[in-house]
Amino acid sequence: MERTIAGVCYLKVDGNQYALRGGLKVSPDDVQREGVAGLDGVHGYKEKPRVPSITANITDTGGLSLEVLRSITDATITAELANGKTYVLRNAWTKAGHELDADEGQVAVTFEGMKCEEMT
């Protein structure tokens, strides 16, 4: 029985591994649903598109460039989790507004894309 549920993870952009500091979050859903209630009870739900994303904090190593991060478009982002799951975000770009935390030596980055798949 596999007992690892969290811990060591990897983040890759077009096959290049980044120094993952922490805060890795995968949000693969491409739809968002909201319940609709009337005065006489629940009528159902409404649905609208949602942008899938992968968010992480990466270490500001000597080779990390904020300009390179900002220029990422049409990339393939891979998140490999400790529990054996792998998520692939396709046709991805970086969401603007990167902030370098010099005190911690890290950058928070959000990748958004057209589709995020759980690989089994």
Q: What is the largest CA-CA distance in the chain?
A: 61
Predicted pLDDT of residue 2: 60
Tokens of 100: 């370098």
Task: Estimate to the nearest angstrom the gap between the alpha carbon of 93 and the chain centroid.
Answer: 11
pLDDT of 96 reads 84
Query: Strand pairing partners for 117?
Result: 88
Which residues touch 74 (CB under 8 Å, ≥6 apart)?
91, 92, 93
Residue 7 has, within 13 A of its CA and on its CB side, a CA count of: 7
Tell me if residue 29 falls in helix, strand or coil.
coil
Instruction: From first to last of the 120 residues of the chain, give the pLDDT tens digit.
Output: 566 667 889 999 999 999 999 999 999 999 999 999 999 999 999 999 999 999 999 999 988 999 999 999 999 999 999 889 999 999 999 998 899 999 999 999 999 999 999 997
Nearest alpha-carbon partner for 36 in 26, 27, 47: 47
- The pLDDT assigned to 5 comes to 66
The third-level CATH classification (topology) of the domain covering 10-119 is: Elongation Factor Tu (Ef-tu); domain 3 (2.40.30)
